[in-house]
Amino acid sequence: VPPAEKYEYQAEVSRLMDLIVNSLYSNKDVFLRELISNASDALDKLRFLSVTEPDLLKDAFDLDIRIQTDKDNGIITITDTGIGMTRQELLDCLGTIAQSGTAKFLKAMKESKDAGAESNLIGQFGVGFYSAFLVSERVEVSTKSPKSDKQYVWESEANSSSYTIREETDPSKLIPRGTRLTLYLKRDDKGFAHPERIQKLVQNYSLFVSFPIYTWQEKGYTKEVEVDEDPAEAKKDDQDEKTEKKKKTKTVVEKYWDWELTNETQPIWLRNPKEVSTEEYNEFYKKTFNEYLEPLASSHFTTEGEVEFRSVLYVPSIAPTGKDDIINPKTKNIRLYVKRVFISDDFDGELFPRYLSFIKGVVDSNDLPLNVSREILQESRIVRIMRKRLVRKAFDMILGITMSENRDDYARFWENFGKHLKLGCIEDRENHKRIAPLLRFFSSQSEEDTISLDEYVENMKPDQKDIYYIASDSVTSAKNAPFLEKLVEKDVEVLFLVDPIDEVAIQNLKSYKEKNFVDISKEDLDLGDKNEEKDKEIKQEFGQTCEWIKKRLG
């Protein structure tokens, strides 16, 4: 066997590694996501090629990812049965920067003169394989490509400018195909080698990767074992138990280790909506968002055409406690995936306007880069289109609640999120048409239950042109307003705007179904009952008197 050969990294790689380690130290978690996504890519490539070359699968049919931890020694191994790498590919892929994500990153880095911008930049691009060095002092990549009959080991230390490649000679380490990464963790990062920690990271970042991810977990089962009686006890009981010799048993826990499937290979949003039950949607919701209450509504859809994405959205059944949720759009309510890899839930109005930030859900797109950042999101045309569609779907979903068999559902929605929609009247002119039918108000003819604007319009008098309202601080005081009397007499309904935000919201809407909102407490209220004949008569009768009064009183 030829000895290990030593190679120098391309200068840019060393630079990149320094940058990664120095700027992502507070976000080390990402290493696992990156390595799992590489494993998943390698499996994808193999699956794709095997369609035309089924022989590629011959030694190992299972396409999966296995992660094993050795917490005593601080070692993590990540094994996939994917496409693997030849010796040359090891040189090309892990020694130089040829790959798209990282190449773009370096280009942007060169163009940026401002050194401080580097740590900003790094969040935008794929940090990829080298993120292994965020937590490892040494990384070993043992890999076998179906194109080669030999298995090779690539090895490097953190902060090193070189790496080695040698043939794998340890028979216990031979794999039929694919790649095994061994991470020897830095002293301070050995905590990552705990099975529970890995499990959590997988579930948080890679729950919906489309290949099974198994983690090596300690399990236990209970069993009954016979035990010898304590001799002292036995003596004491001797007299009464002369005849029946009872055997004592005790429950013990047997521990063992085994592979445990840690992700969900078929994420709910990839399934056919017709085949998913409400219970399953609700379960997914509760698990994903740590909720214990069922959602009020859900919506599962796929959009095609200009931008393709799949999504499941939910309306929670209760608004979060805490008064500032309505102003704070950073609710972590929308989880964005790109090709089933979790990217972020840290949004600030990019996917939903802040007044809809109570909507929860997952969005999965194939059209965004895997390492999409906040900056990219804000400027992306794709994201703008996604946002438009998401908002529409959210409104459809809310409208669906108004049609629910259970009338309490919408009452509940309105109680929790009515304020949000009113804020929408102020902040989102473009969607007035969608928001207005969802609004609810008390009125002079409905003091107990709120009514919709449609119900109001239905109930308008034949000659009534406008929608009347009065703003007040409670239903009681609205009821007693002096302006109201005249309209009540005529049996004309008046909306009671009793929430401070109501009036501003209504003023922003201006009209509904071409009927203007009119404040009855304003002067010149035209009730549409002006009679010109009568006006003339009155003018004739009192005209002179009026003139006289005007003159006398100035």
Residues that bind ligand ADP (CB under 6 A): 34, 38-39, 41-42, 80, 82-85, 93-94, 99, 101-102, 126, 128-129, 179
Find the residue with minimal CB distance to Mg ion: 128
Annotation-wise, does 80 bind a ligand?
A: yes
DSSP class of 320: P
Minimum CB separation of residue 32 from ligand ADP in Å reads 12
Q: Out of Mg ion, ligand ADP, none, which partner does residue 32 contact, by CB within 5 to 8 A per kind? A: none
Length of the chain: 554
**What's the token pair of residue 351?**
């996917």
Q: Which residues pair with 362 in a beta bridge?
A: 312, 335
Neighbours of 22 (CB within 10 A): 11
| Residue number with CB closer to ligand ADP (35 or 356) | 35
Helix, strand or coil, per DSSP, at residue 499: coil
**Is the Cβ of residue 128 or residue 316 nearer to ligand ADP in the bound state?**
128
Give the residue at shortest CB distance from ligand ADP.
Answer: 128
Smallest gap from Cβ 362 to ligand ADP, in A, equals: 23
DSSP state string for 98-157:
-SHHHHHHHHHHHH---GGGHHHHHTTS--GGGGGGGTEEEEEEEEE-TT-SSEEEEEEE
Closest contact distance (angstroms) between CB of 38 and ligand ADP is: 3
User: What is the C-alpha separation between 124 and 116, in angstroms, rounded?
Assistant: 14
Q: Tell me the residue ranges of DSSP E strands in 288-359.
A: 297-303, 309-315, 334-338, 341-344
Nearer to ligand ADP, 128 or 146 (CB): 128
Nearer to ligand ADP, 211 or 314 (CB): 211
Q: Which does 102 bind (CB under 5 to 8 A by kind): Mg ion, ligand ADP, none?
A: ligand ADP
Q: Residues 424, 353: contact at Cβ < 8 Å?
A: yes
Closer residue to Mg ion in complex, CB, 128/329:
128
34 in a labelled binding site: yes
Measured from the CB of residue 79, what is the shortest distance to ligand ADP in angstroms?
A: 9
Pairing of strands 446-452, 360-365: unpaired
Q: Give min distance, CB of 203 to ligand ADP, in A.
A: 20
Instruction: Give dist(CA 542, CA 536) in Å, integer.
Output: 10
In which element (H, E) is residue 497 found?
strand 494-497
Is residue 305 annotated as involved in ligand binding? no
Annotated binding residue 124 = yes
204 is annotated as contributing to ligand binding: no
Assign 496 to helix, strand or coil: strand
| Smaller CB separation from ligand ADP, 132 or 386 | 132
- Among ligand ADP, Mg ion, none, what binds residue 74 when CB lies within 5 to 8 Å by partner kind? none
Shortest Cβ distance from residue 104 to ligand ADP (Å)?
Answer: 10
From CA 19, how far away is CA 250, in angstroms rounded? 57
430 is in an annotated binding site: no
Report the nearest approach of ligand ADP to the CB of residue 424 (Å): 39
Report the C-alpha gap between 152 and 173 in whole angstroms.
11
Query: Annotation-wise, does 215 bind a ligand?
Result: no
Residue that is written with structure tokens 């990217």 in the block: 343
74 annotated to bind ligand: no
Q: Which is nearer to ligand ADP, 86 or 450 (CB)?
A: 86
Separation CA 111–CA 117 (nearest Å): 11
The entry of Mg ion, ligand ADP, none near residue 179 (CB within 5 to 8 angstroms by kind) is: ligand ADP
**41 appears as a binding residue in the annotation:** no
**Cβ distance to ligand ADP smaller for residue 33 or 354:** 33
Interface residues with Mg ion (CB under 5 A) are: 38, 128
Helices (H), 315-406: 374-379, 381-402
Q: Which does 42 bind (CB under 5 to 8 A by kind): ligand ADP, Mg ion, none?
A: ligand ADP
Q: Are 263 and 199 in contact (CB under 8 A)?
A: no
Residue 410 has phi, psi (to 5 degrees) of -70, -35
**Beta strand ranges found along 204-247 (DSSP E):** 213-227
- Name the one residue in this structure whose structure tokens are 């001799």: 231
Instruction: Say whether 133 counts as a known binding-site residue.
Output: no
Minimum distance of Mg ion from residue 7's CB (angstroms): 21
Q: How many Å from the N-terminal Cα to the C-terminal Cα in the chain?
A: 117
Q: Is 82 annotated as a binding residue?
A: no
Annotated binding-site residues for ATP read 34, 38, 80, 85, 100-101, 124-129, 179, 374
Annotated binding-site residues read 34, 38, 80, 85, 100-101, 124-129, 179, 374
